[in-house]
Amino acid sequence: MWLRLIAFLMSFIVSGSIHAQDTIPSMAEAGLPVFLPAGLSNERSRQIWESTRREQVLAAFETYVYGKAPEGGYTLGFDRIESSSRQPKLNAERRRMVVNIQTERGMASIKVTLFLPLEHSGSVPVFLGMHLFDSSRELPVIGQPWAHPTDSTSTLSLEDPSVVLRMILNRGYGFATIDANDVDPDEHDGFKNGVHALFHDETQRHAPDDWGTLAAWAWGLSRALDALEREEDVDASKVAVIGHSRMGKAALWAGALDSRFAMVISNDSGCGGAAISRRQTGETVAHINRVFPHWFCGHFHAFGDREQALSVDQHMLIALAAPRPVYVASAEEDAWADPRGEFLSAFYASEVYRYYGLSGLHPDERPLMNQSIGDRVGYHIRSGRHDITAFDWKCYLDFADRHFLGKQP
């Protein structure tokens, strides 16, 4: 027990360290599952990836990690709760829609709140996220308004929760959000509420590969995208799905399943998100399944302290977004999320982007603190704790400018 405790404490000291001189082992040397055999051309690799391997990886995540969501058996209806409300403080327009999901067992509704910049011409790209614990707020909390001390936004007031939202809108982007509780409350209740109740008889136990809460949240994000596609002012071809912490896990899975998301962003998503599980650093599979047994499917519980037995790992989850742009971010003090494991996931996922002739994270480039790196795969580690801040959002906006609008920061 003492050895495990010492190892656990040491992980908090070393897991966030990423140095320019670090060497990175190959996936095989690191004991990670590889995408394809070595020595294939990019053209051949892309052909195999698209024809068979991607579906195999996706199916493994569905079966052994997140669970499989229903593919049918429901109808959707769309209503407008609030047509348009001007928000002078934000220089924005707010709209509220609702997606009604109907099955033979009943109906559930997911409310979508959309903010658009008042001064825009044509349709605008949108960031779509999910919030939790703040459903009663007029404005969703989507990030702390402070930034790195060297950043020009560092003087922003902590008392103003609209700062980050204004920052997004002033850059010409919209922001949409849904409440996770509308989709599936974050409770271990036997999947008796939320959208799960629409598809499962409460007298029947979940099958080992049935969808958990993270998969339900990802499914809900796709339903929100269904609603955004109906808004003429939204450029539905440029919707970025984004999430912090547990919502970052859901965002990565939503991006893997739904190719309509044009960009995928993970902020401090850690275990079951961007961090490599086999490192067993910070939060582990055994711990996350014990504390949040409803997040994943039943099969995933068999891999606590047996991560090596999984046929996939989280670098493969990030790669499922290819060739779409994907961004992973970490925080220096967030050892629980294993910053180095998140970086390595993004680094190894870059291999699949090379199949498409795209550049991800360069093999000779290492992240410096508070500096964004990468091309089609982006990454940064910032100073500070487990949070999403104005500095993070500045990096995401610069990344979106480059890939959505063709601008250079």
Residue 143 confidence (pLDDT):
67
Per the rule left: phi > 0, alpha: psi between -120 and 50, beta: everything else, 19 is beta
Query: What CA–CA distance (Å, rounded) separates 326 from 240?
Result: 9
Residue 86 confidence (pLDDT):
83
39-69+119-181+203-404 CATH fold: Rossmann fold (3.40.50)
Q: Cβ(261)–Cβ(225) under 8 Å?
A: yes
The CB-side HSE value for 255 (13 A sphere, CA atoms) comes to 35
* Type and span of the H or E element at 83: strand 75-87
Residue extents of the structural domains in the chain:
39-69+119-181+203-404
Q: What is the separation of C-alpha 401 from the centre of its chain, rounded to a whole number of angstroms?
A: 19
Task: Write out residues in the chain with pLDDT < 50, as ranges.
Answer: 1-16, 146-159
Which residues are 265's β-sheet partners? 242, 327
DSSP state string for 12-58: HHHTT---TT-----TTTTTPPPSS-TT--HHHHHHHIIIIIHHHHH
Residue 91 confidence (pLDDT):
86
**CA-based diameter of the chain, in Å?**
62
pLDDT tens per residue, range 17-28 = 555 557 899 999
Whole-prediction pTM value?
A: 0.92
Catalytic residues: 245, 386
